Amino acid sequence: MKSLKLITLVVFTFIITVSCNITQDLAGKSFNSYQKHRRVQLIFDNDSICRFKNTFNCNDIDPMYKEITIICRYEKVDKMLILKNIDCKSDSCNKSFTIDIPPQTSNQCDFLNEDKRNRVFTVGPSYPTAYEKYGLVPNIDIDTVFIVKNKLLFIKNKQNWGNIGFIFK
């Protein structure tokens, strides 16, 4: 566990030291991350409000979950952006780790189906399910986005579970 914390600290130190400055004015800009059948966007509406938007590119899922948008306040601090969910009233906001998406019956986004959420028993290391790889949508409470060479790096960590991350270009 100590080695994992040390590795994380070294990676973040490296990211911060090699980062290039992203343009000061983010208003009106959009950064995208593409995965299997989905696009995740960080859209900067003005100098303090942004949207974290997840769009599943599937026409056969519940429309309520096809496009999920979280509105946030943001503040640039050195080589980082601090995102704070607009619903958070204090500095101790504590939302759930991910947005709960009920199982779907989809041919286009089969990773949202019930059977793709179940873990298969294996001897040795465990690997994420298709749902965990492609279907989890992080819930923004108070999160950090790192600025790395004109890209944005979002990593949300849950102790004793793992990480969800995106590289926005």
Three-state SS across 27-75? Answer: CCCEEEEEECCEEEEEEECCCCEEEEEEEECCCCCCHHHHEEEEEEEEE
- CB count in 10 Å sphere of residue 102: 9
- Whether 61 is covered by a domain: the verdict is yes
Does residue 116 lie within any of the structural domains? Answer: no
Examine residue 120 and state whether it is found in any structural domain, yes or no.
no
Alpha helices in the chain (DSSP H): 2-18, 63-66, 130-134
CATH assignment at residue 70: 2.40.128
Number of domains in the chain: 1
pLDDT digits (tens, 9 = 90+) for 104-160: 999 999 999 999 998 777 777 778 889 999 999 999 999 999 999 889 999 998 877
The answer to whether 152 and 82 have CB atoms below 8 angstroms apart is no
According to the model, what pLDDT value does residue 3 have? 45
